[in-house]
Chains A and B, each alone.
Chain A
């Protein structure tokens, strides 16, 4: 067992609390959004497609996005404080965290834009499905899996 995993400096506690809280809100927002979007994918009526599309978009915008900012900001706070932003060879778990954090953030942003545009097009056209919302659903699912991998890397800290 890694002793470091049990004993860490007290100065990490507050930024770590914000980092974990942000990550939890992010994952909760992604799960809420992808649930609504998947259910909407299967439904055929225009009212359901619009309703679930709107639910998914709002979960991404009001939960996942603020969660991402909190997670990323607090993560960087710890990294700067501990000098991890300036190491020659970063540990694997940190690399996984950075890659999923940055790439996942970009995919999250794209999925929010697509979900918003999809909802707007459904509202105008009255159609029963939107390709943009479906692409957003796939992206959100990919981001969710990436963050689950990041969560494993951050908690288990593989070499």
Chain B
């Protein structure tokens, strides 16, 4: 396999990691909206660590291997419109993604605190955090940005 083959594989593999994290977080966010009992919330968020790892590897990897590919392949330049668009979409994705964590991780921590205090019953404050409309909107925005990134990568407008 050539360097190009490896770079393309790693670029796609990290893109899969990023979207897999999105699938996992979509599942947690939508699932969390129907939960009331703190111990159920704590249980569900235990798998969020996998999503965090995938998101970290995916978001960094997809950018690094993508830029490396653009430098390696003669047909592409870093200043091509579709590559600049991808970088802008990636920045938007990162900016919104970091805000989502600030909304849902306090909910997980609150659920943990309630369980530790022995108050494993429906809690209005926790329910409001889990059903945050802002969190849901931000998450939908990251899904839309990821979809736009995928469309940009496949259609390569202007290439």
B23 part of interface (Cβ distance < 8 Å): yes
In contact, A55 and B44 (Cβ under 8 angstroms): yes
A115 part of interface (Cβ distance < 8 Å): no
In contact, A31 and B24 (Cβ under 8 angstroms): yes
Of B5-13, B106-114, B132-140, which binds chain A? B5-13
CA distance A148 to B20 in the complex (A): 12
In contact, A32 and B154 (Cβ under 8 angstroms): no
Interface residue from A16, A24, A36, A157 paired with B20 (Cβ < 8 Å): A24
In contact, B46 and A20 (Cβ under 8 angstroms): no
CA distance A13 to B157 in the complex (A): 11
Q: What per-residue 1/0 map shows which CB atoms of A1-33 lie under 8 Å from chain B? A: 110011100000100110011011101110110
Interface residue from A21, A63, A151, A156 paired with B1 (Cβ < 8 Å): A156
Interface residue from A17, A51, A59 paired with B154 (Cβ < 8 Å): A17
Give chain A's interface residue range (CB within 8 Å of chain B).
35 or more
In contact, B9 and A31 (Cβ under 8 angstroms): no
Q: Which residues of A contact B9 (CB under 8 A)?
A: 151-152, 155-156
A132 part of interface (Cβ distance < 8 Å): no
28 contacts between A and B (CB under 8 A): A1-B2, A6-B73, A16-B154, A21-B150, A24-B19, A24-B20, A24-B150, A27-B20, A28-B20, A29-B23, A31-B50, A31-B54, A32-B20, A32-B23, A39-B46, A39-B47, A47-B39, A47-B43, A51-B44, A55-B47, A58-B27, A151-B12, A151-B13, A152-B9, A155-B8, A156-B1, A156-B6, A156-B8
Of all A-B residue pairs in the complex, the 3 with the closest CB atoms, nearest first, are A28-B23, A28-B20, A24-B19
Nearest chain-A residue to B48 (Cβ)? A35
In contact, A155 and B12 (Cβ under 8 angstroms): yes
A83 part of interface (Cβ distance < 8 Å): no
Given contacts A155-B9, A158-B1, contact A25 B23 (CB under 8 A): yes
Q: Which residues of A contact B117 (CB under 8 A)?
A: none
B22 part of interface (Cβ distance < 8 Å): yes
Nearest chain-B residue to A25 (Cβ)? B23
Q: Which residues of B contact A148 (CB under 8 A)?
A: 13
Q: Which residues of B contact A128 (CB under 8 A)?
A: none
CA distance A157 to B50 in the complex (A): 29
Q: Which residues of B contact A25 (CB under 8 A)?
A: 19, 23
Interface residue from A1, A24, A27 paired with B4 (Cβ < 8 Å): A1
CA distance A61 to B75 in the complex (A): 41
Q: Which residues of B contact A31 (CB under 8 A)?
A: 20, 23-24, 50, 54
The smallest beta-carbon distance between B50 and chain A, in angstroms, is: 4
In contact, A36 and B16 (Cβ under 8 angstroms): no
Nearest chain-B residue to A29 (Cβ)? B23
In contact, A5 and B4 (Cβ under 8 angstroms): yes
B144 part of interface (Cβ distance < 8 Å): no
